[in-house]
Structure 1
């Protein structure tokens, strides 16, 4: 054991993962959660983002599985769906619908509320963990703030009309974007951690639907997930063509219809939402939504800026404190990195506790260094896209020439990677690793074999020697033909008429 008591602030994904780790190293782990936690998969006030789609990336799945063995199986047993996106999702890309074929990536689809419910079930199997609900954390208790011996020694809280404090050998901040921990530390004598910020003015809006009964769904619905990427057309078009749109499947024969965009005002009322759905550039998106039965109002979120509190840059980091999840680094939710990054930080904490006997300055400096290296991976991905917008604000805004370069190159490079992935398994696997945070963007950009594969595909494309067709008409249903293993040379999008109804 590394200590008697650990206190976790917040009972969401980040806090639950941290609690699962701490239960193996402390006599008692107390999770303080402001909300009353529902017994089932239901929304709660403290997690408004649960009303939008959530991806659990492969690296996050593995991390949670290491912390809570059997998590993935329990999630699937509860209704989550293990799917292969390249086979089970229809993607409308720049030139139309992408071809359907097997790939290296799988994903478990479910709602955020189901993920949290399964995690809570796993946490409650560990006798060392106590979840205290209806408790608001109001401050920290510490000594020697800002000095080499400065340490967080506990927390202050309020529960209804009562208030009190808890002593702790380790405190974990999992309070999310709105965490006040940095402010409490500053009041106690620590300097404020430097912050990296970038807000690309992303807004997204979602509504929940019941799918039609299986025997009443259109024949064209071979897909489970429908994705329409923003147009790259620079001419006149409805602003809905700029949306990144998802028809996202979840448990219980339901879907979350979500639309979002950079720098565009999004619909927040039912009538404007329904009108926008019909104007998304692929007609199948509106048709699919109209075939379903709405079960919620419209949920809109604007709190999407990237923010990284750099505790690793402090000369004297606070001992006795670890920050995980959005409380340390919050990402643009469009990139689906938050839950996985939080689980990865918890796994680093597990490795640190396993390898160290004392929670001293060396322990916290090494944890912060390793966490920083882990967070660099998703942060670089978020910056690569969000820095391309002229209206972005924050410390990480780049020079105009870099914005123009990013804006000019990002889509052509993305298109080339997607097209090459149809025929080059190495390029497909590499990009899937980057998407899932198993490889950094830097590693990909310096991979000679990766870029050779793209260059070779572009030459074959110019010579008319590509194999797998693409660019199917986005005004028609996405073709369900399985192109896995196709080797017949000379195939081209002209074959579309024969393929659409396969």
Structure 2
């Protein structure tokens, strides 16, 4: 490619992954970042959500590993933990604690700040990437805005003095708060249509040190408490989706979130709410840990997709990646993985095109849309269930009622069936990790049949792996990977049913 310089706006996960791709195709890649980047894994102003749990889904792990070979090993060496959630996490589901067993899904657990630090370390090893810190991007350099010959030719910025940079390609990785779309309109381009859905999600987190001597019956690393499906009177904390989330350094992030509820902001309210979560175990184990932070609350969680692909004349010379183009409800842990997947789409198009022209942009936008459709559909499937949700993607009341009535029961049916059926487990793992679309499994007769078969077996009491263990007790540590020969991690509860 004859192009010489690419400029990336923003040095977070989306920007760093994109810089790694661009370095293979451009002589010079410059990343402009507003913050002074820490040398270690520390919070910074530009990533306030770093104080909440994050993990990279399997498709994101592979994408980042393709861009930066050895990334996962480096993350684990830095303290990240490769775990199998079905065996290393305790799940409080509809009827109680789920059984513990092996499955096909693994994940690397760490803090967001460690992920970014490891990524920065990899980027700094690439000689033709320069990260300029303490820089505020102030605008775009353009010519012929909105016309067939229109193009973005660079950016303006300030590092104390007003400056500009010419570029053959500019990448908007500034996140939810980007102003690039406003600058494009001011320069003459049409406003990109936006799809939005805000389900009023709020979540609140606090960091803790685990006990130096972990209690013997704490077999789990991760605890997940899903919202109740009880339609009767219950404390609103039973509506929370809660996580006791492990990160590096023998620490956890205790996080509680909800759709449409007011979440605790103070330490006192946070601790009281944790005690009222659907299982008392959540508050009990949190109190066994040593607090290391205050309470961090986030409300900027709406889904928004800027549809540059729908413009008749998309701006040549500029692409958007990460939350700048498509931001998701953070509950679903799709953001970093979706950004890395988009970076791989860019790599594919750069490898096939020799010129940054309208054909290049059309191909990229079309392929990026296919990639983004997968997580977007998942986010819509749940967030459209709420009467208080607002945005362009709200649906008719009958559809909201169906989603509200069946989304969690269907999820529970699938996860329960996956424990006993390898095909369901494989497909569910694919959907959860953005490797398979929701549409694909919802139209897969074999998948549907196997889940229904499991439901019939459950109704007849013929399932092989037990479930619904008492939520007032600690999660049972028995390993049911082989249901005929379960292995007790610790003494089994008196009322726990174990196959002979």
TM-score, normalized by length of structure 1?
A: 0.97
CA separation in 1, counterparts of 2:146 and 2:266?
A: 49
* 1:487 CA displacement: 3.8
Query: What is the match of residue 56 of structure 2?
Result: 56
Correspondences of 1:403-482 after superposition (within 5 Å)? 403-482=400-479
* SS across alignment from 2:76: helix
Correspondences of 1:43-82 after superposition (within 5 Å)? 43-82=43-82
1:235-280 C-alpha deviation (Å, 9 max, x unpaired): 1111111100000000000000000000000001110001111111
Correspondences of 1:150-169 after superposition (within 5 Å)? 150-160=150-160, 162-169=161-168
Correspondences of 1:53-202 after superposition (within 5 Å)? 53-160=53-160, 162-202=161-201
CA separation in 1, counterparts of 2:48 and 2:341?
A: 23
* 1:114 CA displacement: 0.1
Q: Which moved more, 1:383-392 or 1:347-356?
A: 347-356
Unaligned runs of at least 5 residues, structure 1: 490-494
Of 297, 300, 305, which aligns to 2:297? Answer: 300
CA separation in 2, counterparts of 1:454 and 1:364?
A: 41
* 1:64 CA displacement: 0.2
Contact 1:111 1:250 in 2 (8 A): yes
* SS across alignment from 2:229: coil
**Structure 1 residues 488 and 292: alpha-carbon distance in aligned structure 2, compared to 1, 3 A threshold:** closer
- Structure 1 residue 222 corresponds to structure 2 residue 219: yes
* 1:89 CA displacement: 0.2
* 1:497 CA displacement: 2.7
- Structure 1 residue 204 corresponds to structure 2 residue 203: yes
* 1:408 CA displacement: 1.3
CA separation in 1, counterparts of 2:459 and 2:121?
A: 55
Query: What is the match of residue 308 of structure 2?
Result: 311
**Structure 1 residues 2 and 460: alpha-carbon distance in aligned structure 2, compared to 1, 3 A threshold:** farther
Query: What is the match of residue 391 of structure 2?
Result: 394
* 1:356 CA displacement: 1.0
Contact 1:203 1:260 in 2 (8 A): yes
Correspondences of 1:1-80 after superposition (within 5 Å)? 1-80=1-80
* SS across alignment from 1:322: strand
Contact 2:469 2:496 in 1 (8 A): no
CA separation in 1, counterparts of 2:416 and 2:83?
A: 21
Query: What is the match of residue 320 of structure 1?
Result: 317
* 1:499 CA displacement: 4.6
* 1:212 CA displacement: 0.4
* 1:469 CA displacement: 0.3
* 1:192 CA displacement: 0.5
* 1:2 CA displacement: 4.4
CA separation in 1, counterparts of 2:225 and 2:211?
A: 21
**Structure 1 residues 2 and 52: alpha-carbon distance in aligned structure 2, compared to 1, 3 A threshold:** farther
Correspondences of 1:242-281 after superposition (within 5 Å)? 242-281=239-278
Contact 1:2 1:25 in 2 (8 A): no
* 1:217 CA displacement: 2.0
Q: Which moved more, 1:471-480 or 1:352-361?
A: 352-361
Runs of 4 or more, structure 1, over 6 Å off, are none
Contact 2:466 2:497 in 1 (8 A): no
CA separation in 2, counterparts of 1:24 and 1:135?
A: 24
* 1:400 CA displacement: 0.7
- Structure 1 residue 287 corresponds to structure 2 residue 284: yes
1:38-94 C-alpha deviation (Å, 9 max, x unpaired): 000000000000000002000000000000000000000000000000000000000
Query: What is the match of residue 328 of structure 2?
Result: 331
* SS across alignment from 1:139: strand
Contact 1:2 1:358 in 2 (8 A): yes
Query: What is the match of residue 489 of structure 2?
Result: none
* 1:485 CA displacement: 2.1
CA separation in 2, counterparts of 1:2 and 1:73?
A: 35
Q: Which moved more, 1:275-284 or 1:162-171?
A: 275-284
